[in-house]
Amino acid sequence: MSLALTLYSRPGCHLCEVMLEQLQPFLEKYSLEVQLVDIESDDELLRRYAIKIPVLALDGETLCQYQLDPQVLTQALKANSAA
């Protein structure tokens, strides 16, 4: 089963760039890819997230908002890879 990481962001978002950079070791270690989603491309996403970005989700479940929490991500990845 492959896991799907999604990073909700928007162009010019410095915090989004920082989170994406911090994700790199996880992507390599767990052989993951992250889907970048521009919230400005969808009115519903823009309403939902507005200024609450970046948001990192794993298989549709929000894990982190504003900044990466390495412990939360690690726990979620381990739990999902064991399932």
Domain boundaries, the chain: 5-66
Q: What is the pLDDT of residues 30-57, one digit of tens each?
A: 888 899 999 999 999 999 999 899 999 9
Mean pLDDT of the chain: 91
pLDDT for position 44: 96
Instruction: Examine the pLDDT at 1 and tell me if it is beyond 60.
Output: no
Please say if the pLDDT value at position 2 is more than 70.
no
Q: What pTM value is reported for the model?
A: 0.90
pLDDT of residue 83: 58
Q: Which CATH superfamily is domain 5-66 in?
A: Glutaredoxin (3.40.30.10)
CB 54 within 8 A of CB 5: no
Q: How many helices (H) and strands (E) does the chain have?
A: 3, 4
- Which pair of tokens denotes residue 35? 């889907």
